[in-house]
Structure formats: C-alpha cells, structure tokens
Chain A
Amino acid sequence: MAGVSLARDLVTGIGHPLVSPECRGGRLEQGAWTLLLLLAACGDPGEGELLVQAYGCVACHEIQNLNVEPATVGPTLRGLAQRRYIAVGLPNTPDNLVRWITDPQEVLPGTAMPDLGVTRREARAMAAYLLDLPEQTLQAGGRENAE
C-alpha cells in the first residue's frame, strides 16, 4: 500500500517522504524502495559517482568515502535518501533533487550552492548515486556524543 502511493507520488511529482519512518519494515521493503528510487531517478549510480567528483561536489559536501579533506561548507549527504526535505522545505523526491542539482539558484535564490552547469541527464545519474548512499547510522561517523 505504501509502495503504491509512493509510486503514484513519484510519477506525479507531488512529493513523499522517501523512507517514511512508519514504513521502515524489513530489509526487503527497503530494497524495493531503493530500486524504485533508482528507476525513478533514471540514472546510472556508477556514472553519478564519477560526476559528483568531476563537478567538485566533494569540496563542500561530505559524500560517503569520497572526501579527502573534511567538507563542511554544505550539509552532509550521508543517508540523503532518508531526509524528508532538501534545500529549504523542498520535498525530497528524485525529481526535486534533479531540479536542485541542475538549478539551485532558481529553486532557492541566494543559496550558497552554486549553479554548476550540470545537465539534466548528468543530474539524474548524480541523484541516483546520492539517493543510494547508505543510511545515516546511529553513530554518524563516530562523531556523535554518546547517549
């Protein structure tokens, strides 16, 4: 049931939390979501990983293990798929993410994220890669204080 409504929302671009806390069932369900994300993003995550480095995204964002220097200008992209919103108040859907990557200044004028001239096709690949990044773990990179 949750999967059907997600599919509908992705198609119509309304927006839907990608990994709703209520739906966090078994691993299988998580796998199905991921597959759906990749299909919806219509991009090749492998190519996306190369593009994310080619465009210098790692200069500002922490992305999985791609960073050589700590990158804290922008937010971490670990577990991006779990986030409900991106930018400010923009529902985190593949389409919105692609829009954001290609044209941040249009989506959020005055944002610190610059226009990099990413084409839509490239952005789809990058979105597919970013949305496939592993979940934010409870001990996020070991930097969280002990609870």
Chain B
Amino acid sequence: MTPILNRGLLTSARRVVLSALVVLIVAGLGALIFIYSGRYDIAARRPHLMIVRSILTMLQERSVGFHASGIEVPPLDDPARVREGLVLYRKYCVVCHGAPGEAQGRVGIGLNPSPPPLVQAGRKWSDGEIYWIATNGLKMAGMPAFGLGHDPDQLWSITAFVRRMQTLSPREYQRMVAAAEGATDPGDIRWVAGDQGWARLREAGNPEQGAALISGFGCASCHTIPGIDGPRGNTGPPLGDFARQHYFAGRLVNTPENLIQWIIDPPGVDPRTAMPALGVTPEQALHIAAYLYSLGGKQ
C-alpha cells in the first residue's frame, strides 16, 4: 500500500514542477518572439507599457540605492561651492532638468524617461545618490556620465547646488544667476539655505490644535481640507496634498517659514491674492501649518 501511495505523490509533484517549467519556457519563448518581432513601441514620444515602466523604474532606483550607498558626502553648505555648482548646473543641467522658474529645453522635453525637475530631487534621492547619478549617468535614460569630463570636486559642487535648489524660489534663483554670471552681486544672496522652519515646526507645532484653528477661522469655506468639515469650497486650491507640493501661492517654496508668513498675512506677501488676512497669530499659524503638513505625507 505505502510504496504505491508514495509513487503516486511523487508523480503528481513531478507533474506540477514539469508543468511550471513548461509554462515558463513557453512564456520566455513568447517574450523573445515578441521582442524579435519588433512590435514593441520603442518611440520616446509614446509611453512604455506600465509593467515595463515599473520594472525599469524599480531597476534604476534599486541600483542607484545599492551602488551609491557607501558614498561619503563632504560638507555641502558652502557658499563658494553652491555658487560654482550654479554655474556648472546652468551650463550642463538646465537644458534637461530646468530650474526654478526656468523651463527645460527642447532636448529635455523630448526624452523618455522624462528628466525630472531637480527642484524636488531631494525628496527622492540623497546627496550621495545625486552625486552618483551625476558622475555615472544612467543607462538607457539619456542621463550622461558627467564624471567622464569633470572631477569629483566639480560634481560635488553641482550636488551642493541641486541641494540648495530644493528651497530656492524663482526670484532668488534669478538673483543668484545675475550674481554668479553677471556683474551685479548685491551681497545678500543666501547661497546656503537655513532650516526653513522645520525644526521649530516639529518641536512646537501641534496638528490637533491646528485642525481646531482651521475650523475656527473658517478656512474650509474656501479650501477643501481633509478632516475639516466644510462646504468643500473651490475659491482656493484643495489642500489635501499640500505637504507634497513644492511651490504654493505661485512663487513661494513650500516651507514652514513661508507658509506661516503666508497664513498670517496673505495680501502682505502677495497683494493679488484673494485670500484675506484673518488675524492669525504666528503661534496659531504654526499649528495650522503643522496640521497641513500632516496631510498627504510629510517631507
């Protein structure tokens, strides 16, 4: 009895493995035939199939993460470095990646994958990773390896500038360009950014209090804000994803400092706005900011 049973089990297990192998081989052959047929649309102007795109993106992100993990980052908060980085960035990088208030050139627009706006690169990549990408380039992405023609020092300067760009307004950027490339240097340019208010927000900002204040001041009558009852107004933009947005109010970088200043006195910041000053105190604005940054995932 037992030997027969054993034989039966083995055979069916073997059958399963064999079937799986056959399926894999057939699928592989099918894929090869498809690739060879040339039917896959390789044109850059049209997007990849979602599955191909997902695989390629994961491949790229994981590879950079792995290969850039050991890099030691030198101090980047140095005005001279940032300034040199700006000059290099404008020479080599703007054409594909743009800059605050500056569009990418035709070359950048025509590429697939699309060169991302580097004003937000810090959300996705660490300084070491940005340095690695600039130095080594990326296969099949149109991103050149600038390490071939530049020394590490210059590439760290570019990295330092990209880092500074994360909190750079278009106005400040234009002033920097004028100072670095032109004759004018007003001397009050912030080559190195401060903390922008994040430390204080994390220490002292209370999102629950912020929510209560938002209800109290009636913000929801103009803005659609998750977690706050209101008529879902459309006078102002929806704030559900506010934390992820890079700019707000057209020309301000989304930092606690700027947001608090805005909440306290919007017309003072920009006379064109329809948003009124409601008599919010700085401390109240801090809590309101804390609530808004708690939505949609904080930086």
Contact = CB atoms under 8 A, between A and B. Distances in A.
Interface string A41-55: 000000000000011
Chain A interface bracket (under 10, 10 to 19, 20 to 34, 35 or more): 35 or more
Given A68-B53, A74-B247, A112-B247, A56 B102 contact: no
Contacts of A136: 224, 234, 238
A89 interface: yes
B113 A68 contact: yes
Interface in B158-176: 169-171, 174
With most chain A CB atoms within 10 A of its CB, the pick from B45, B174, B233, B272 is: B272
Contact of B240 (A74, A90, A108, A140): A140
Interface string B238-263: 10110011111111000000000000
Interface string A75-107: 110010011110111100000000000000100
A73 B141 CA distance: 21
Interface in B116-172: 116-117, 119-120, 169-171
Contacts of A119: none
Contact of A114 (B98, B171, B272): B98
Nearest to A91: B274
A108 B109 contact: no
A133 interface: no
A24 to B, nearest CB: 10
A136 B257 CA distance: 29
Nearest to B233: A21
A143 interface: yes
A88 B249 contact: yes
Contacts of A143: 240-241, 296
Contacts of B45: 54
Contacts of A73: 117, 119-120, 245-247
Contacts of B226: 144-145, 147
A114 B47 CA distance: 24
Contacts of A105: 101
B279 interface: no
Interface in A107-132: 108, 110-116
Main secondary structure on chain A at its contact with chain B?
loop
A25 to B, nearest CB: 16
A87 B236 CA distance: 11
A75 B242 CA distance: 9
With most chain B CB atoms within 10 A of its CB, the pick from A19, A70, A79, A144 is: A144
A136 to B, nearest CB: 6
A139 to B, nearest CB: 9
Contacts of B248: 75
B109 A54 contact: yes
A72 interface: yes
With most chain A CB atoms within 10 A of its CB, the pick from B102, B120, B232, B240 is: B240
B227 A147 contact: yes
Contacts of B240: 140, 143-145
A59 B18 CA distance: 47
Contact of B104 (A54, A56, A88): A56
B205 interface: no
Contacts of B184: none
Contacts of A70: 244
A140 B296 CA distance: 11
A114 B103 contact: yes
B109 A72 contact: no
B63 interface: no
A60 interface: yes
A76 B239 CA distance: 10
Contact of A111 (B113, B170, B235): B170
A108 B250 CA distance: 8
A34 to B, nearest CB: 16
B113 to A, nearest CB: 7
7 contacts: A68-B47, A73-B117, A73-B247, A87-B250, A140-B224, A144-B240, A147-B226
Closest 5 A/B residue pairs (Cβ)? A114-B103, A89-B272, A144-B226, A145-B226, A88-B250
Given A54-B109, A108-B250, A112-B247, 4 more contacts: A83-B234, A84-B235, A112-B100, A140-B238
